[in-house]
Amino acid sequence: MKKTRFTEAQIMGVLRQMEGGVPAVELCREHGMSSATLYKWRAKYGGMDASLISEMKAMAEENRRLKRMYADVTMKNDLLKEALRKK
C-alpha cells in the first residue's frame, strides 16, 4: 500500500484551512497535491479531529489483524477436515 506523505495533523490542518474559506486551488498549489486528494480527504476525514483519525487508523489495523487470524484458523480447520476425511 502506498504510504502517504502527509500526517494526520497535516491533513487536519489543510481541511481546517479549507473550512476557513481558503480556495481549494490555492491549498493544492501551496501543499503540492491534487484537488482530487483534497476532496478525498474531505470525504473521508471531514468533521473529525486528529484523535478520531488516529483511532480510526488503529481500528483499521486491528481489523486487518483479525481478518488475517480468521483466515489462518479457517485454513487450519479445512486442512483438519480433509485429513480426517482421508482416514
User: Are the C-beta atoms of 15 and 42 separated by less than 8 Å?
Assistant: yes
Total number of domains constituting the chain = 2
Q: Which amino acid is at 27?
A: L
Domain limits for position 42? 1-48
Q: Are residues 54 and 40 in the same domain?
A: no
Please tell me whether the overall predicted TM-score, pTM, comes out greater than 0.95 for this model. Answer: no
Q: Are residues 6 and 22 in the same domain?
A: yes
**Nearest to 14, CA basis, from 30, 57, 3:** 30
Specify the pLDDT at position 70.
97
- 47: left (phi > 0), else alpha (psi -120 to 50), else beta? left
| Per-block mean pLDDT, blocks of 10 residues, the chain (87 long) | 75 89 92 91 84 87 97 96 87
Q: Are residues 34 and 60 in the same domain?
A: no
Q: Are residues 27 and 40 in the same domain?
A: yes
Q: Are residues 38 and 58 in the same domain?
A: no
The three cell numbers of residue 8 are 494526520
Q: Are residues 40 and 80 in the same domain?
A: no
Q: Are residues 22 and 63 in the same domain?
A: no
Specify the pLDDT at position 86.
82
